[in-house]
Amino acid sequence: MRKLSSENNPGPVVEEDKETDEYEKKFRFYIAMLEHSDPGRRWKAAESLARLGDNRAVGPLIQALSDEDWRVRQKTAWALGYIGDPAAIPALRRAYRDDLEGVREMITEAISMITMRMTG
Protein backbone atom coordinates (compact mmCIF):
# COMPACT_ATOMS: atom_id res chain seq x y z
CA MET A 1 0.00 0.00 0.00
CA ARG A 2 1.44 3.35 -1.02
CA LYS A 3 0.85 6.56 0.85
CA LEU A 4 0.95 9.90 -0.88
CA SER A 5 3.90 12.19 -0.41
CA SER A 6 3.61 14.95 2.13
CA GLU A 7 5.33 18.31 1.99
CA ASN A 8 7.97 17.09 4.46
CA ASN A 9 8.48 13.79 2.68
CA PRO A 10 9.69 14.12 -0.92
CA GLY A 11 8.83 10.56 -2.00
CA PRO A 12 6.15 7.99 -1.48
CA VAL A 13 6.27 5.85 1.65
CA VAL A 14 5.81 2.22 0.85
CA GLU A 15 4.39 0.00 3.59
CA GLU A 16 6.70 -2.80 2.48
CA ASP A 17 9.66 -0.49 3.14
CA LYS A 18 8.49 -0.02 6.73
CA GLU A 19 8.21 -3.77 7.15
CA THR A 20 11.67 -4.20 5.64
CA ASP A 21 13.08 -1.59 8.03
CA GLU A 22 11.54 -3.41 10.99
CA TYR A 23 12.89 -6.71 9.71
CA GLU A 24 16.38 -5.24 9.32
CA LYS A 25 16.26 -3.87 12.87
CA LYS A 26 15.31 -7.30 14.19
CA PHE A 27 17.95 -9.00 12.11
CA ARG A 28 20.71 -6.63 13.27
CA PHE A 29 19.51 -6.93 16.88
CA TYR A 30 19.72 -10.73 16.83
CA ILE A 31 23.14 -10.64 15.15
CA ALA A 32 24.39 -8.31 17.90
CA MET A 33 22.86 -10.57 20.56
CA LEU A 34 25.12 -13.42 19.42
CA GLU A 35 27.89 -11.48 21.20
CA HIS A 36 25.96 -10.85 24.46
CA SER A 37 27.61 -11.82 27.74
CA ASP A 38 24.55 -13.87 28.76
CA PRO A 39 24.60 -17.31 27.08
CA GLY A 40 20.81 -17.49 27.33
CA ARG A 41 20.53 -14.43 25.14
CA ARG A 42 23.06 -15.81 22.66
CA TRP A 43 21.07 -19.05 22.55
CA LYS A 44 17.83 -17.16 21.90
CA ALA A 45 19.52 -15.03 19.23
CA ALA A 46 20.59 -18.16 17.33
CA GLU A 47 17.05 -19.51 17.51
CA SER A 48 15.54 -16.21 16.38
CA LEU A 49 17.94 -15.91 13.46
CA ALA A 50 17.01 -19.42 12.35
CA ARG A 51 13.32 -18.57 12.43
CA LEU A 52 14.00 -15.50 10.27
CA GLY A 53 15.57 -17.87 7.74
CA ASP A 54 17.94 -15.25 6.38
CA ASN A 55 21.10 -16.69 4.80
CA ARG A 56 23.01 -13.57 5.86
CA ALA A 57 22.98 -15.03 9.38
CA VAL A 58 25.04 -18.05 8.33
CA GLY A 59 28.44 -16.37 8.77
CA PRO A 60 27.77 -15.04 12.27
CA LEU A 61 26.16 -18.36 13.24
CA ILE A 62 29.22 -20.25 12.00
CA GLN A 63 31.31 -18.08 14.32
CA ALA A 64 28.95 -18.95 17.19
CA LEU A 65 29.68 -22.66 16.67
CA SER A 66 32.79 -22.03 18.77
CA ASP A 67 30.89 -20.37 21.64
CA GLU A 68 32.13 -21.25 25.13
CA ASP A 69 28.64 -22.40 26.18
CA TRP A 70 27.58 -25.82 24.87
CA ARG A 71 23.91 -24.79 24.73
CA VAL A 72 24.76 -21.96 22.36
CA ARG A 73 26.84 -24.29 20.18
CA GLN A 74 24.00 -26.82 20.10
CA LYS A 75 21.34 -24.23 19.25
CA THR A 76 23.62 -22.70 16.65
CA ALA A 77 24.04 -26.06 14.92
CA TRP A 78 20.26 -26.43 14.93
CA ALA A 79 19.89 -22.91 13.53
CA LEU A 80 22.29 -23.60 10.68
CA GLY A 81 20.39 -26.77 9.82
CA TYR A 82 17.08 -24.93 9.99
CA ILE A 83 18.31 -22.20 7.63
CA GLY A 84 19.63 -24.90 5.33
CA ASP A 85 22.48 -23.10 3.58
CA PRO A 86 25.02 -25.62 2.22
CA ALA A 87 27.80 -23.12 2.95
CA ALA A 88 27.48 -24.13 6.61
CA ILE A 89 28.40 -27.79 6.05
CA PRO A 90 32.22 -27.41 6.20
CA ALA A 91 32.00 -25.44 9.46
CA LEU A 92 29.57 -27.96 10.92
CA ARG A 93 31.94 -30.78 10.03
CA ARG A 94 34.83 -28.95 11.72
CA ALA A 95 32.66 -28.33 14.80
CA TYR A 96 31.90 -32.04 15.05
CA ARG A 97 35.03 -32.34 17.22
CA ASP A 98 32.97 -30.91 20.09
CA ASP A 99 33.44 -32.70 23.40
CA LEU A 100 29.72 -33.04 24.10
CA GLU A 101 27.69 -35.78 22.49
CA GLY A 102 24.51 -33.68 22.42
CA VAL A 103 26.26 -30.99 20.39
CA ARG A 104 27.66 -33.59 17.99
CA GLU A 105 24.20 -35.13 17.58
CA MET A 106 22.74 -31.75 16.69
CA ILE A 107 25.56 -31.13 14.22
CA THR A 108 24.79 -34.48 12.56
CA GLU A 109 21.11 -33.58 12.40
CA ALA A 110 21.90 -30.13 10.97
CA ILE A 111 24.06 -31.59 8.21
CA SER A 112 21.29 -34.07 7.45
CA MET A 113 18.68 -31.28 7.25
CA ILE A 114 20.85 -29.28 4.86
CA THR A 115 21.64 -32.31 2.72
CA MET A 116 17.96 -33.23 2.46
CA ARG A 117 17.16 -29.73 1.22
CA MET A 118 19.93 -29.95 -1.35
CA THR A 119 18.68 -33.25 -2.74
CA GLY A 120 15.06 -32.18 -2.78
Give the model's confidence band at 64: pLDDT under 50 very low, under 70 low, under 90 confident, else very high: very high
In angstroms, the CA 78 to CA 46 distance is 9
21-60: pLDDT as tens digits: 999 999 999 999 999 999 999 999 999 999 999 999 999 9
Residue 6, in any domain of the structure: no
Residue 87 belongs to some domain of the structure: yes
pLDDT confidence of residue 120: 75
Q: What total number of domains does the chain contain?
A: 1
CATH number of the structural domain spanning residue 35: 1.25.10.10
Chain segment 77-108, per-residue pLDDT in tens: 999 999 999 999 999 999 999 999 999 999 99
Cross-strand partners of 9: 6
Is residue 7 included in any domain, yes or no?
Answer: no
pLDDT score of 6? 40
Q: What domain range is 56 assigned to?
A: 14-119
Does some domain include residue 3?
A: no
1 in any annotated domain: no
